[in-house]
A and B are shown apart, each in its own frame.
Chain A
Amino acid sequence: MPYGPHAADDRSRMLQTIGVDSVDRLFDDIPEALRSGPLKLDPPEPELELSARLQALAARNRTDLVSFLGAGAYRHWTPAVVDQMLLRGEWYTAYTPYQPEVSQGTLQSIYEYQSLLAELTRMDVVSASHYDGGAATAEAALMTCRATGRDRILVGRGVHPHYRQTLETYAEGAGLGVDEVPLVASGPLAGTTDLAALALLLADAEHPVAGVVAAQPNILGLLEDMPQIGRLAHDAGALFVSVIEPVSLAVLAPPGDYGADIAAGEGQSLGIPLQYGGPYLGIVACSDALIRQIPGRLVGLTKDLEGKRAFVMTMRAREQDIRRERAASNICTNQALLALAASIYISTVGPHGLRDVAAMGASRAAELEAALAAAGAPRLHAGAYLNEFAVHVPNARAVFKRLLARGVLAGIPAADLLPDEPAVADALLVCATEVTTHADITTFATALAAELAGGAA
């Protein structure tokens, strides 16, 4: 066993103390008929060979491409200090701070995370973290049902399709109804949430709505009229859930400023590697009025018996280990290590750095927009965007494949993401961030121009 502790005679000494002659005897409780034969797995692999295998597997992934892919996970520069700190065993080999006297590091780091995200979102309460953006959005939607006693959720089609699908899976289990709010198909507001349709859905007195879920920016990168969506929700007695992207909040209005009752979202862009989908950081924040409804761990500030400031997991009696079948959620594990990464990231880049990240993405995106338009792929929508947008490309899937062969990961064919939106059938959804270079943009635009010219010929 590669990490075993035993010297030559340790096991026999231990068996002697126990008073049995073989380890097999300790498994006597397993009924004979149910005992397993030998596992059909490879023999143990020495570290030298295993490291080569792992390296070879990793090398088969193509992370060398010029990439414009976003759609809910974002390429960002992470200062080296973040991972250096995360590599300390004191962080990653500790567990849930059940014993606060020997867990003040983790507890204070979570309190600081809650505080940083509360400031960024301008919300009162932030949970110690959830699994990811999809699960966080689903939990936020369930909160609105518990708080209002209603059982119908409206989710905008501008919300990431994975989040919508996750919400539907959760809602199905909980016996809740989910209706989707369509996007405007054409005109100056194309691609944003159809507010008239939303008002109509909210007006159904037979089926009162618990919560309205909308994203800013939305899945097509467009900026929504969040204050108006919030007003419509509140006028119908529903709560308003804003699905946020935290880096954007350095420059975009925070949900607390436009009346959101709950903010949910994906915190990956705060210093967390892409790593094919996780582990990421689910953000859930809410107003003080909803504090009893927020699921998952919370860390609070208190004192020890000598009056020293200290931190502790609090309001524990809401959680599954105490409330069991009456708990609001079954969540136990949080994403403490990723919340820590986010805190170190924010602390290192600071308020100015975070603004620069968001604004640099916007700047690169504008450059990308101009270059792609010049290459023959103009923007699909007229509305404002931050750093992600759709461009019109006929036969988008085929063009995307040919660009891939040229070493360009040209975002994502919008039809792959939103197969039920005919309005985006011929489009690529592309994204730029502070790591996108002028050279990347030129490479993409040149390749696209060549493909589009070839396609026309």
Chain B
Amino acid sequence: MVPGDLRYTSDHEWVRVEGDEVVVGITQFAADQLGDVVFVELPAVGKALKAHVTFGVVESVKAVSDLFAPIGGEVVGANDALTASPELVNSDPYGAGWMLRLRPSDAAEISALLDAAAYEQVVAEG
């Protein structure tokens, strides 16, 4: 269920390492909990994020949820496709529904994230 090659946070975000950058999104579990996603607010490219602070907001029809930076770093890309098609977060959360590209400020923060097994445990415990 949960892709094995990604790292996770207990706030239901995932992180994929691609070279010296990482891609960030929210998990299928989070997307299902929210229901139909209708709007995603993302930071501008160039913004510096600290780990665990909010970087954006995701809205569904009747809920709103903060997005937390899984690690610190500089925003080098944001998924503009979500402006026109926020439903990608529901239909393909680990692929086309990605949200941010970050250049990590401290690679050590990545290794501190949960692996798939640990994240599955988090979901199971509710």
Q: Which residues of A contact B (CB under 8 A)?
A: 292, 315-318, 322-323, 326
Smallest distance from the beta carbon of B124 to chain A beta carbons, Å? 28
**Cα of A323 to Cα of B65 in the assembled complex, Å:** 9
Nearest opposing residue in chain B for A319, CB measure: B64
Query: Min CB distance, B40 to chain A, in Å?
Result: 11
Which residues 64-82 of B sit at the A interface, judged by CB distance below 8 A?
A: 64
Residues of A within 8 A of B57 (CB): 326
A317–B41 alpha-carbon span in the complex (Å): 12
Alpha-carbon distance between A323 and B61 when the two chains are bound, in angstroms = 12
| B29 CB-CB contact with A under 8 Å | no
**Mind listing 14 A-B residue pairs with CB under 8 Å?**
A292-B39, A315-B38, A315-B39, A316-B61, A316-B62, A317-B39, A317-B60, A317-B63, A317-B64, A318-B59, A322-B63, A322-B64, A323-B64, A326-B57
Main secondary structure of the interface of B (DSSP, over half): strand
Given the complex of chains A and B, what is the CA–CA distance between A233 and B37 in angstroms?
36
Q: How far is the CB of A6 from chain B (nearest CB, A)?
A: 38
Chain A proximity mask over B23-39: 1 for CB below 8 Å, otherwise 0? 00000000000000011
A323 to B62, CA, bound (A): 10
Quick one: closest A residue to B60, CB to CB? A317
CA–CA, A52 to B53, complex, Å?
A: 64
Tell me how far the C-beta of A33 lies from the nearest C-beta in chain B, rounded to whole angstroms: 42
Q: How far is the CB of A247 from chain B (nearest CB, A)?
A: 36
Chain A residues with CB under 8 A of B59: 317-318
Residues of B contacting A318 with CB < 8 Å?
Answer: 59
Q: Which residue of B lies closest to A323 (CB)?
A: B64
In the assembled complex, the CB of B2 is this many whole angstroms from the nearest CB of chain A, namely 26
* Alpha-carbon gap, A181 to B47, bound state (A): 35
Cβ of B64: which chain A residues have Cβ within 8 Å of it? 317, 322-323, 326
CA of A292 to CA of B60, assembled, Å: 14
* Chain A neighbourhood of B62, CB < 8 A: 316-317, 322
Interface centre among A317, A318, A323, A326, by most chain B C-beta atoms within 10 angstroms, is A317
Complex CA–CA separation, A93 to B2 (angstroms): 51
Most buried by B among A292, A316, A318, A323: A316
Interfacial chain B residues near A323, Cβ < 8 Å: 64
Task: Identify the 7 closest CB pairs spanning chains A and B, nearest first.
Answer: A317-B59, A317-B64, A323-B64, A322-B64, A316-B62, A322-B62, A322-B63
For residue B61, which residues in chain A have a CB less than 8 angstroms away from its CB?
316-317
Complex Cα gap A315–B39 (Å)? 9
Nearest Cβ distance between residue B119 and chain A, in whole angstroms? 26
Task: For B60, list chain A residues within 8 Å (CB).
Answer: 317
Per the bound structure, the CA–CA distance linking A322 and B60 in Å amounts to 10
Q: Which among B39, B41, B59, B60 has the greatest number of chain A C-beta atoms within 10 A?
A: B59
Q: Which residues on A sit within 8 Å (CB–CB) of B41?
A: 292
Q: Name which residue of chain A comes closest to B34, CB basis.
A: A317
The chain A residue with its CB closest to the CB of B66 is: A326
**Residue of B at shortest CB range from A316?**
B62
Query: How long is the Cα–Cα vector from A323 to B64 in the complex, in angstroms?
Result: 6
Provide the bound-state CA to CA distance between A315 and B57, in Å. Answer: 14
With A292-B41, A316-B61, A323-B64 known, 18 other A-B pairs at CB within 8 A are A292-B39, A315-B38, A315-B39, A316-B62, A317-B38, A317-B39, A317-B59, A317-B60, A317-B61, A317-B62, A317-B63, A317-B64, A318-B59, A322-B62, A322-B63, A322-B64, A326-B57, A326-B64
A315 to B59, CA, bound (A): 9
A326 to B63, CA, bound (A): 12
> CA–CA, A317 to B39, complex, Å?
9
Closest residue of chain A to B64 (Cβ to Cβ) is A317
